[in-house]
Amino acid sequence: MTNYTHLLYKLLSASLLGLALLAFSSASAADKQLRIGTLAPKNSLYHQQLQELGEVWRTAQGGNAKYLIYPDGSQGGEAELARRMRIGQLQGALISVVGLREIESSVGALQNLPLLFKSWEEVDYVREKMRPAMEKKFLEKGFVVLAWGDSGWVRFFSKEAAFRPADYRKMKFFAWGSESEQQEIMKNLGYTPVPLETSDILPAIQTGMISVVPSTPYFALASQIYSTAPNMLEINWAPIVGALVVTKKAWDDMSPAVQEAVRAAGDKAGLQIRTKARQEVDDAVNAMKKRGLIVNRPNPEQMREWSDLAEKLYPRIRGTMVPAETFDEVFSHLKTYRATKSK
């Protein structure tokens, strides 16, 4: 082979290698995907906000980037969604504290303290005070928090009317399958938890496997729980708090410009979810009342019994469902907030 031919061969080889690398790079860009799982129903407020955020990501990413949402718990319960993110089957999920605790336990402080928060303003204040430290802990576990949301207060939907804590001791409660600590606490206090996944709730209550479901009004309406459990105790037991998280790997794969666009979209989505979801609570209750829902309101004496139950629960929750340090921090923030408001 002459030197000239040899040179041509090297140039041709280099060109072919360059084209191959370019093709691979283009294919990789075209294959960019964000797969997001959630238990939220299709076409719900939460699903719509995920779609809007997806459009922002897709536009910023460019190419043939694909954004896929799996609603209705089609990828499993919340613990399963956390597992799927860890192994790369999903890049993100919109989940409540039940699933978030599978990643970072301190987040339980926002949802697992019954009757502690008296208003959404208190929830917002505590969340924002604790948010930087919590998001740092999530990042250390390999996840980026893009948005914080909530979906209403937990009410008790039951087959039979009930007003006081003792009324529920003869009933069988739906309990999250992944929350063994909660189940143990309930048993110790004389209640009967039945661990299930969300997709099991409706058939379980229809067949009598369970007789009471702690649920937000919106979810009770969307899932038709109220049709079999038509009694709702009007008590703001605890807020359902959640977040949209993506894996750090998926986040790091985004350019700084894409990250900035997605971060802004996440903040907007979180605000929309919090604002609209709170408005939908009363709408959901009114819609169910027109279809036969019975609203049971505890009297002052019965409410004192519920408050006494909550006081008994706090020492059991501290250090189990909520880390002791985080538990104390929540109470400290609330004390400060209430002192400021009372002036």
Enter the tokens of residue 319: 């250090």
Is 115 inside a domain boundary? Answer: yes
Q: Give the other-Cβ count within 10 Å of 236's Cβ.
A: 16
- CATH number of 282's domain: 3.40.190.170
Is 196 inside a domain boundary? Answer: yes
pLDDT at 229: 97
Rounded to the nearest 5°, which phi and psi values hold at 252? -65, -25
* 99, 149 contact by CB (below 8 A): no
**Per residue in 238-268, pLDDT tens?**
999 999 999 999 999 999 999 999 999 999 9
pLDDT digit string (tens) for the chain, length 343 residues = 444 334 333 433 434 334 333 333 333 444 689 999 999 999 999 999 999 999 999 999 998 899 999 999 999 999 999 999 999 999 999 999 999 999 999 999 999 999 999 999 999 999 999 999 999 999 999 999 999 999 999 999 999 999 999 999 999 999 988 788 899 999 999 999 999 988 899 999 999 999 999 999 999 999 999 999 999 999 999 999 999 999 999 999 999 999 999 999 999 999 999 999 988 888 999 999 999 999 999 999 999 999 999 999 999 999 999 999 999 999 999 999 999 987 7
**Alpha-carbon torsion (115, 119, 124, 125), positive or negative:** negative
Is 119 inside a domain boundary? Answer: yes
Is 169 inside a domain boundary? Answer: yes
pLDDT at 19: 37
Number of domains into which the chain is organized? 1
pLDDT at 279: 87
pLDDT at 31: 60
Which own/partner pairs from 310-319 qualify as long-range (CB within 8 Å, at least 24 positions apart)? 310/114, 310/115, 310/116, 312/189, 313/114, 313/185, 313/189, 314/113, 316/185, 316/188, 317/112, 317/113, 317/185
pLDDT at 179: 82
Is 15 inside a domain boundary? Answer: no
* 240, 281 contact by CB (below 8 A): no
Is 330 inside a domain boundary? Answer: yes
Structural domain that includes position 124? 27-341
State the helix-helix crossing angle for 300-317 and 180-188, rounded to 10 degrees: 130
pLDDT at 18: 40
pLDDT at 199: 86
